[in-house]
Structure 1
Amino acid sequence: MRASVELRQISFFIAVSETGSFRQAANRLNVGQSAISRSIQKLEDALGVSLFERRPNGARLTNAGGRFATNVRAILESLDTAIEAARAAGVAENGQLKIGIIASLSRGPSRRVISRFLEVHGDVDLQIIETDRSELLTLLSHRRMDAIVAAGEPEVDDRDALLLAREHIFLAVPSDHRWAGRELLSWDDVREATFVVSSIEPGPQIHDYLVRKLADLGRRPRLTRHRLGREGIMNLVGLGLGVSLVAEHWCGVSYPNVTFVRVGEENETVPFSLIWRPENDNPALRRFISLARIEAKRNGALS
């Protein structure tokens, strides 16, 4: 049987648990201390447990109260998310578009498409989400996201995809390294290098790419993993702790003591694709795809 609990009681409970005092909670909420006490008592009666140990110098959560506080906070966070989503939907009178990326927007095709979209459809509520590939694909499958821009060829499955561009590969090296003055490095040149890679996206993809390339030379890459984002990895390069691979669109950002040099064969590139669900009839998505097709044609990725 579900206990009869009011949102007002929950807010009073959280205030007391955070301040450790009925008096301080009353001051924070600008209500009488007696109102706080009565509300908490009703909440405890409804739940059938004591939530606080009352003491002359304050109130301390009981074991049951501590567990209740943890669960209630999770519920309130979900409620806040739902409220924000409803507000966003209400504000986005002309549509909403959610794009997931595993890429930099400092330059390149993704930036150009998004920039053009904002110019033409500035009345659409555009949200950009950056996280790992698995989570992005999950959000896409459940229609919590409209499209994803990520490395890889378009795959034929239950999703639609468009090859957006093929980009050259660059090696981030310390600016005082002898390679910094080169125009193009071969894989044989860098076979003995120490590579710093991230353990989060797109680090695992970079790791796999290095393994494939250097395995052809009979070498296993020397790698150090760090739980850092792209900026953190670039700072490690600038400090001389190693080198790192980036796609061309990452070269739009400057980092202290870091220089970007082309690496690989003359025509070696990595593909970047736009992925979406074919049944998604969001008009804002269709307009975004149209602009992406124009960009793909400009890059020679779409005939």
Structure 2
Amino acid sequence: MNYIPLSGLSLRDIEYVVAVDDLRNFSRAAERCGVSQGGLSEQVRKLESLLGVVLFERTRRHVTVTPDGARLIAMGRNVLAAARAMIEAARARTGPLEGVVRMGIIATLGPYYVPDLLPLLRRAYPQLKLQLTDSLTDTMLRMLRHDELDVVFAALPVSGEGLQYAPLFREPFLAAFPASHPLARRKALAMPDLRGPDLLLLEDGHCLRDQALALCGMSSRRDPSRLATSLEMLWHMIGAGEGYSLIPRLALRHRGEWDGLITVTPLPGAGRTIGLVWRTSDPRGPAFDEFARFLRENPPEGCTSADAPPPPHDGTHIQPA
């Protein structure tokens, strides 16, 4: 193979085209990359000229990637991932984590776990600088594979090539009912008791939705009027008397203003295991593993360490998220 000089090709230019591909908008891509739109557009044109390929079709309203562009941008993503891995390998430490860590947390956990997590990390990892993101599980695992996140807190198990995870803690589920609902007066409940038309769910994409359906032994339901966009909206729907649902333990904190509107009942054995996920190829893997061990030793209030024996089980199997 003939020698091909790389003097005209820069990683920054590849970052520009990847940003345009992600956002399909030159203005937003420039904002993400911290450059002017004119500067980014000019560098993209120069890269197209260097490659001899048009990467994007541009109109006043739309930006679409060409077939050749899609193939080359995919290769560019691999180049950026390799470059970042090189930097991470140079910075890797055998001791505690330090520096910037891009951390994703599933939306049904983040608002309720992060307030306790941050002070804990500030004391134990003073050199750690976090960049936090919350979203759906699949979205964040995709970001993790594309090197847009370093670690993800998710309900286990997760699947996907090139990922490694460690369990952290078990979070119980509780049943939340409108105070006037007949099931709210029951002293003890089993999961089959929750099968019925009043069960409220989150929208597709939330692992908590899949777990609730699996625990109750129900198939997917499509009625959009019974779906909540977030865990907070699900709680509000219960308070309004629309139905009942399963609520993770950490999301029940500081709900005193709902006394008299919502009744919460324990569900023995029902819950989820929260774990830390990272790329198998990340050279900081040993540090992430040690980080997971530290978090296992410090589970949030109301949860149990994943090293502890599991709670009594009622025989119901929780499907993978």
Settle same-fold status: TM greater than 0.5: yes
Matches within 5 A, 1:176-191: 176-180=180-184, 182=186, 184-191=188-195
The 2-side partners of 1:291 and 1:101 are apart by: 17
- SS of equivalent to 1:195: coil
Partner residue of 2:202? 198
TM (norm. structure 1) is: 0.59
Q: Is the 8 A contact 2:273 2:306 kept in 1?
A: no
Matches of 2:220 and 2:149, distance apart in 1: 38
Structure 2: runs of 5 or more not aligned: 1-22, 36-97, 309-321
Q: Distance in 2 between matches of 1:222 and 1:243?
A: 17
TM-aligned CA distance change 1:154 to 1:192, over 3 Å: closer
CA contact (8 A) 1:200 1:227 kept: no
- 1:225 shift after superposition: 3.5
Are 1:208 and 2:206 an aligned pair? no
Contact 1:146 1:276 in 2 (8 A): yes
- Matches of 2:27 and 2:222, distance apart in 1: 46
Do 1:199 and 1:227's aligned partners in 2 also have CA atoms closer than 8 Å? Answer: yes
Choose from 121, 127, 134 the match for 2:125: 121
SS in 2 for 1:276: strand
**Cα displacement string for residues 172-210 of structure 1 (whole angstroms, at most 9, x for unaligned residues):** 2123435445554212332335112121542xx344334
Tell me how far 1:282 sits from its aligned partner: 4.8
In structure 2, the partner of 1:59 is: none
Residue matched to 2:227: 226
**Cα deviations across residues 98-149 of structure 1 (Å, max 9, x unaligned)?**
11111324556x6654431123334432122111122101110111101111
CA shift in 2, pair 1:121/1:278, >3 Å = same
Corresponding position of 2:137: 133
Q: Deviations over 1:146-169 (max 9, x none)?
A: 111111236585222111112221
> Which one of 269, 272, 289 corresponds to residue 270 of structure 1?
272
Q: Is the 8 A contact 1:191 1:214 kept in 2?
A: yes
CA RMSD of aligned residues (A): 3.6
State which of 269, 275, 280 in structure 1 corresponds to 2:282: 280
How many residues of Structure 1 are paired with residues of Structure 2 in the alignment?
216
CA positional deviation for 1:237: 0.7
Q: Report the counterpart of residue 295 of structure 1 in structure 2.
A: 298
- Identity %, equivalent residues: 19
Work out the CA distance in 2 between the residues paired with 1:281 and 1:138.
19
SS in 1 for 2:142: helix
Check if 1:78 corresponds to 2:29: yes
**2:27 partner SS:** helix
Runs of 4+ in 1 over 6 A off after TM superposition: 219-223
